[in-house]
Chain A
Amino acid sequence: MDATQSILDQIEAAAAEGEQVCPEGAGSKSFMRPSTSARVVSTATHTGTLHYHPDELVIRARSGTRFIDLQAEVAEQGQYLPFDPPILGPGSTLGGVVAAGLGGSARPFLGGIRDYVLGAKVVLPTGQVAVFGGDVMKNVAGYDVSRLMVGSMGSLGLILELALKVLPAPKATRVFELPMSPAQAIKTIELYRRQGGLSGAVFFEDVLYLRFSGSPGQVAQAENRLTGAISSDSDEVVRKIQNLEFPVQHHLWRWDAPSGISMEQPGLIAFDWGGRLRWLDSLDPPIIDKAHGVVTCFKPGEGTLNTWSNRNDPVGWVQERLKTAFDPQARFVDYPKLRHRP
């Protein structure tokens, strides 16, 4: 259903009443931003695929389309969306997935969301509708605003439509279970990094799960190297960790770590991205050296306890100027970090 007019009306009404706008999809990741007094404008009824040409490897859909519906639609044609993001609620929408910008377990191996975005139609904070990118793989006309939307948290505009690159689905998938310590897991991942087809390296409860997907030959090669390991052709266990479907006692903390940082950290319960994305279960904010990455509280269903510091460097300054460039009158909510300065 096309809800463009209703969305534009709500944005205009908010402007008339001096309210800020907070774009939202199904709200499954609303814990990622602080609670807001802004008017929530939902895209959840703005749904439907606009066109899908499997042999051109491109799909364009409205932002409120449920992500799992999109995945099912391309799967019917033997294709997939390789960035395979975390789905934190059944209603999770395409627009929300893109605006939140969370990468799935395949992030280090097959790329993130931005690598598959080709075009976006956006309501700018000024209320004007703008179209960036397009429906083709190669397009360098104008600055790449559609990919800038990935992870922009609704602060640069409300996404109405997205065009995405799809790929042929892997013909085979196999997940291998390797019991070991986190430190051993990191060394093991190094050994397999160059092995074709590695599409996930996830650790949970003293088991490293290596997912291979690709041609039957690639998967068979991995099987030869990992003889004796328990394996399955379902990657459900990888997806459960990706989708944060594991019990948490206290608060769940997300720790984005550069490679080479020790796994010795109280509360470490899982990691993804071959060790670059780590999950900690702890009541108090974990103490992490600034050079060892970024930590934030990350718990679906609870408010985010932010430990962000706004980056005080030229990158941070350009990011702030970009927000002003898109939204000179601050009519849309700010990027969460820009709002939460210590």
Chain B
Amino acid sequence: MIPKALLQQLRKISDLDLIEDSSRLKVYESDGLTALAVVPPAVVLPHNLKALEAVLGLCHDQSVPMVVRGAGTGLSGGATPLAHGLLISLAKFNHILEIDAAGLKARVEPGVTNLAISQAVERHGLFYAPDPSSQIACSIGGNVAENSGGVHCLKYGLTLHNVCGLKVLLADGQLLHLDDNQLWSDGFDLLPLLHGSEGMLGVIVEVSVTLLPRPEAVTVLMAGFDSSETAAHAVSAVIAEGVLPAGLEMMDRLAIQAAEDFVEAGYPRDAAALLLCELDGGIDEIDAMADQVSSVLRKAGAKSLTRADDAASRARLWQGRKAAFPAVGRLAPDYYCMDGTIPRRHLADVLTAIAERSTHYGLRVANVFHAGDGNLHPLILYDVNAPGELQLAEAFGADILQICLEYGGTITGEHGVGLEKIDQMCVQFSEVELNVFHAIKAAFDPKGLLNPGKAVPTLNRCAEFGAMHVHQGQTRHPELPRF
């Protein structure tokens, strides 16, 4: 609960909406990971920096924990409320402050949606490159907090690579200003540390993004393959050719069929794997690039090949991929989206291991893959109303993350740890590294008030989690090679 005195003080802050009514609070009970829901005791929506500073000051003085939330599209429970803390929504920080078209940058408030930035700069022939699938709804502050990716990060990088400055409030209300006009950090570079920090280190109040000139020409190639392995080799062959596609996505048979049933994107239903390869560049060179890549894909065993040049047909091909999650969602009452990254050369082995676990748990899985950068999104199908299935799905998900680690990958490529993967952090990191993370947290937030309990597990929690593993019997998957 929140102290009554604090609520009274919050009521006195001007330019602040305070929500205490239980029916309105329920809206905030979860982020995109709806399986974890906690109705917060109170929600505030500050209208401006002054009101936000006042909220932080009060909470800091009274040691009340806070969770800061953007659009709530996150998939790892990073913005799950606390039963005993204040939820702060930055939804009203939704203004684009400055567009510097000549300087190729824009200053925006954290609540501005990802897509709104590209829309606002379109008339200057510019765009903001990172494009998470939720870009219509997700906010740029959340993108920084999660270091979000998207389908174009193979060529254009993650959020970190496209942000040049930040303003961040520390838990005690002090303002960190990482100047967007400075190309070199004087002292330790805090910009990468704040990216992907999941609301644990500070509250992002302003973001300076780098803008890029829109490419003159774009084309999309779609290739069908008769196995995921052949498709994975084709991806390697494209990159070995010295071509850097803007996007390179793979879907497996179940995902292809689900997407085709849902949106009729024109995907080859008989293919076991499908590649979507987007190329961009100058008008003079796009045809040569498309011919070169087409020939590589054919040589690598593509059974079908389609090229889409105009915006409408490109959008149609992408629609199947972008709608893959809801499409798969039609196959079962519920699905659980995973987010591991693996070195791509192990894709075939990882998919085999996932298929084996799928049989073991009796749950189907569809795979959608940012093939260019090795980021795998297995979608586990289950029914929350079938007794025990949610637990099975979660156990299956944990196994998948374990498999990713065993092949030299990571437990989260772009969705973050949040609450969802906090136990797997104990597998990926040792006590030494976790201690460093806790020390970093304390350097920014000595009282530990921002988003406590997320992203970095306590050593006690890991000890308990480790004990559980021993109880179940040594390591999982003794058949797998270790790295």
Contact = CB atoms under 8 A, between A and B. Distances in A.
A335 B408 contact: no
B433 A144 contact: no
A314 B176 CA distance: 6
B421 to A, nearest CB: 7
Contacts of B341: 134, 136-139
A140 B157 contact: no
Contact of B373 (A136, A193, A218, A316): A136
Interface centre among A215, A318, A321 (most CB of B within 10 A): A318
B102 interface: yes
Given A111-B161, A129-B432, A55 B236 contact: yes
Interface stretch (A61-69, A167-175, A232-240, A243-251): A167-175
B185 A273 contact: no
Nearest to A221: B282
Nearest to B184: A256
B374 A137 contact: yes
Interface stretch (A87-95, A148-156, A263-271, A279-287): A148-156
Contact of A140 (B103, B147, B442, B443): B147
Interface residues of B, number: 86
Nearest to B149: A138
A284 B35 CA distance: 65
B190 interface: yes
A73 to B, nearest CB: 16
A143 B190 contact: no
Interface in B191-241: 191-193, 195-197, 201, 213, 235-237, 239-240
Given A132-B433, A325-B443, A139 B243 contact: no
A315 interface: yes
Contact of A143 (B196, B343, B345): B196
A316 B436 contact: no
Contacts of B193: 143-145, 147-148
A124 interface: yes
A82 B103 CA distance: 22
B428 interface: yes
Given A56-B345, A193-B102, A101 B185 contact: yes
A131 interface: yes
A316 B411 contact: no
B239 A217 contact: no
Contact of A138 (B103, B153, B408): B153
Interface stretch (B250-258, B302-310, B412-420, B463-471): B412-420
Nearest to A294: B186
Interface string A41-59: 0000000000001111110
Contact of A148 (B186, B189, B239, B421): B189
Interface string A300-336: 0000000010010111111101111110000000010
A161 interface: no
Given A55-B240, A314-B170, A335 B187 contact: yes
B91 interface: no
B345 A315 contact: no
B412 A141 contact: yes
A136 B409 contact: yes
Closest 3 pairs (CB-CB, A-B): A147-B192, A325-B439, A138-B413
Given A79-B242, A258-B179, 13 more contacts: A56-B345, A101-B185, A111-B157, A136-B408, A138-B374, A138-B410, A141-B428, A143-B441, A145-B440, A277-B183, A315-B177, A318-B444, A321-B443
21 contacts: A111-B157, A131-B433, A136-B410, A137-B373, A139-B412, A141-B410, A141-B428, A142-B456, A148-B192, A152-B189, A171-B242, A215-B285, A217-B281, A256-B184, A311-B186, A311-B187, A315-B176, A318-B443, A326-B436, A335-B188, A337-B186
